[in-house]
Amino acid sequence: MERVKYDPINGHRSVSQLGNMTKCGYSWYLEKVARVPQKTAAWFIQGSAVHTAIEQYEMSGRALNTLEAADAFEWAWDEEYDKTLKKVPSESMWMRGGKKTRDQDARERRAKGRQQAIDYVLANGLDNEWQPVEIVPGYPGVEVGFDLDFDGVKVIGFIDQVRRSRKTGKIRVLDVKTGTYQPTSPYQFGTYKIAVEHILGEDVEEGSYWMCKDNKESKPKPLKRFTRDKVAYWYKTMDDMVKNRTFQANPGDCFTCTVKPYCKFESDNPLPLPNGV
């Protein structure tokens, strides 16, 4: 069956789309509408592979040992890295910190990600207070898919984990971060709160990040103020902006922008956009 191409103007929305659109609408346009070739980075692969290892550990009922989790990470890394190299062969299209080469950066991030997977297993055992909640019997709350409808604006996505306290029964959403900085935007947890309440019919009072660089959970963020109406407003406003083709540029913090070579607001000599855009 032929895969249907996503329609960025009339299609569904997501947490990542909302975050990207509010950070810089023009980068969203270049990525989703113009579909220009994007830069990549080893840290994307690191994050994806760590998530895979953690998902497999949690899906096993926390039965995997550290070596098995490390193997899961390495398998996911190798597969994703080889695929990305074929898709983006030019080293100039790989972002990296400092003066490292692409290969050096990849080696270091592969080793760092492997250790992050091991550290997560050691810090999250069967005796911990917070455990993934069962969405359905026998199925832990890991990579929980959701599908919301805000007056015709469809929002879909996946939540890294939904956890429950063994002491209080309280529900908490958790997102795994392999990067350096803890996000400050409310969009992710606000959306996850509404999604889990829709799925489970229980209140979700807080959300937190598992910060791999520190190997610990962040201080929980209170989510009570994020009602369905407030979250719906975010996505309906974004949807209106997209349909009206209001793609506001916000140049400045552009180091990690994957479409920067094509940006007429940030690059002195931007690459030409594809024909017909």
Average pLDDT of adjacent 10-residue blocks, the chain of 277 residues: 76 97 96 96 98 98 97 98 97 91 96 98 97 90 97 98 97 96 94 97 97 97 98 98 96 91 91 79
pLDDT value at residue 1: 44
- β 206-211/221-222 pair status: antiparallel
Fold classified for 130-233: Lambda Exonuclease; Chain A (3.90.320)
Which of 155, 196, 154 shows the shortest CA–CA distance to 175? 196
**Which phi and psi (to 5°) does residue 36 adopt?**
-75, 155
Dig out the tokens for 180 from the structure. 């350096």
Residue 40 carries which side chain, given as an amino acid letter? T
pLDDT value at residue 268: 86
- The CA angle 106-111-115, to the nearest 5 degrees, is 145
Cα–Cα distance for residue pair 110/114, rounded to 1 Å: 6
Cα–Cα distance for residue pair 181/95, rounded to 1 Å: 17
Cα–Cα distance for residue pair 152/162, rounded to 1 Å: 26
pLDDT value at residue 97: 82
CATH 3.90.320.10 segments of the chain: 130-233
pLDDT value at residue 267: 85
* Alpha helices for 165-205 (secondary structure H): 187-200
Buried/exposed code over 35-68 (b: 16+ C-beta within 10 A; e: otherwise): ebebbbbbbbbbbbbbbbbbbbbbeeebebeeeb
